[in-house]
Amino acid sequence: MTRMNRRTLLKTAGSVAGMAAASSVIGTPLIAQERSLKIGSYGGYFENSFKEFVYPAFTEATGIAVESVTQPNSTDWLVTMTQATQAGNVPADLSLYARDTMIKASRIGGLLAPLNTKAMPATSNLDPYFVFEDTTGPIGVGAMSWFSAMVINPEEVEAPTSWAEFWDSSKFEASLGLSKNFNSQFLDIIAATFFEGEATFATKDGIMALIEKAAEIKPNVALWWSAESQMEQSMKNGDVIGGQYYLDVSNLMALDGFPIKPIFPKEGNPQDYGSWCLSSISDKGDEAAEFINFSSDPATQALMSRKIGTAPLVAQSKTDLTDDEFAFVSGTPSIKPAYEAYLDYETFIKESWDKMLAGA
């Protein structure tokens, strides 16, 4: 961010005032006459990679300056954006929404502006599934995707070939780390492993069957994590020797020498993705369109895969990613989460899941 601002500043204003402002972290007032865009992304490593690799490339290509905004995640961000929209002043023009949050935002209404896909020819590279339309038009275009994969500690156990092996207490007693969150896609894994996949979510009885299956794994779970860092620490410390965790972070941890190995079992891993969504009260529609167009370009998708570790939303053949690079961020088969069911039966699934966890 600092570096980028300094570059644009030196280009536009070589004055003493400009130099003085360049030494401060944010020189926004001076570049106000330029085109700019505020973009939100999940804080930490993710946002830092965006600031270091993606935004500078975009600014170079279009001359539009990017101000990075930290999002805690997508659900908390939806609360923030709902309140900010009511107050009439939003912290970011474009932000990242996971698909379920985006559908939720669409159902709440009045939060997201329809996008002008004609101004984004590069979106044709994406599978239509990744351009989400509601009654107002296209409101989200896929940015990048990520897998939450099966992980194990290769020093302690052999790689399972199926998720079903996690239910085996002779191997995994009190040793797994799973997400505590009802919609963290563990139910989708169960549906794919033991039932009929997404179709099982169609009825309450089907959902109850999934949750009852989840109850059977409880003796093997040492950690029901609510924050990503809990699982990261527990894998590093050997408090757990397997579980469900993000593919990209697992690969990065493995590169750093920690005993973690992501695996694609025969049922696959759940694939989720983030979309760029434009705030309904932003006046930066044109700039946002340029950024989404840039982000949908296969070259940018490859750049994100290499530098951030996300799976590309375009076919591997369209990018210059090698097989090794592709395998680092993606894999098959992919389990598509039952997004709509999680929203239609929201209270029911949440309470039944919590009851299962609490044994109440």
Partner 1 sequence: MSVTSPAETAARTPFLKPLIWALILFLCVTPFLLIFAVSFGHKIEGASWEWGFSFANYQRVFVGASWPDEITFLYLQKLYYSLYYAVIASVLAVLTAFPFTYLMTGLSRRAQSAWLVFILASLSLSEVFIVMGWDVLLSNRSGLPMVFKETGLTAWLKEVGWFDTLREWGLANPRNVKFKTSVFATVLTMAYLVWPYAVILLYPPLSRLDRSMVEAAQTMGAGPGTVMRTVILPSVRLPLAGAILLLFVFLLGVYVAVTVFAEPAKQTMAVSVYEAVRGNTLNAPFGAAQAVVLLITAGIFLVLGQWLSRRGTS
Residues that bind partner 1 in the complex, under the rule CB under 8 A: 75-76, 78-79, 82, 100, 103-104, 107-108, 156, 173-175, 180-183, 222-224, 226-227, 230, 233-234, 236-239, 343-348, 350-351, 354-355, 357-360
With beta carbons less than 8 A apart as the criterion, state whether 176 and 152 touch.
Answer: no
Tokens for 254?
């493995």
- In whole angstroms, the minimum distance from the beta carbon of 277 to partner 1 comes to 16
CA distances for 322 relative to 37, 273, 319, angstroms: 32, 22, 9
- Cα separation of 278 and 288, whole Å? 7
Nearer to partner 1, 67 or 100 (CB): 100
Amino acid code (one letter) for 71 = Q
To partner 1, the closest distance from the beta carbon of 340 in angstroms equals 8
Of 95 and 123, nearer to partner 1 (C-beta) is 95
Question: Cβ of residue 240: shortest distance to partner 1, in angstroms?
Answer: 9
Distance of closest approach, residue 172 Cβ to partner 1, in angstroms: 9
* CA atoms lying within 13 Å on the CB side of residue 108: 18
State the minimum distance, in angstroms, from the CB of residue 106 to partner 1: 9
Q: How far is the CB of 76 from partner 1 (least distance, A)?
A: 6
- Interatomic CA distance for residues 146 and 274, integer angstroms: 8
Strands 242-246 and 176-179: parallel
Burial profile 136-175: b = 16 or more Cβ within 10 angstroms, e = fewer: eebbbbbbbbbbbbbbbbeeeeeebeebebbbeeebbeeb
Non-local CB neighbours of 350 within 8 Å, separated by 6+ positions: 182
* Tally of helices (H runs) and strands (E runs) in the chain: 16, 12
Name the minimum Å distance from CB 140 to partner 1: 16
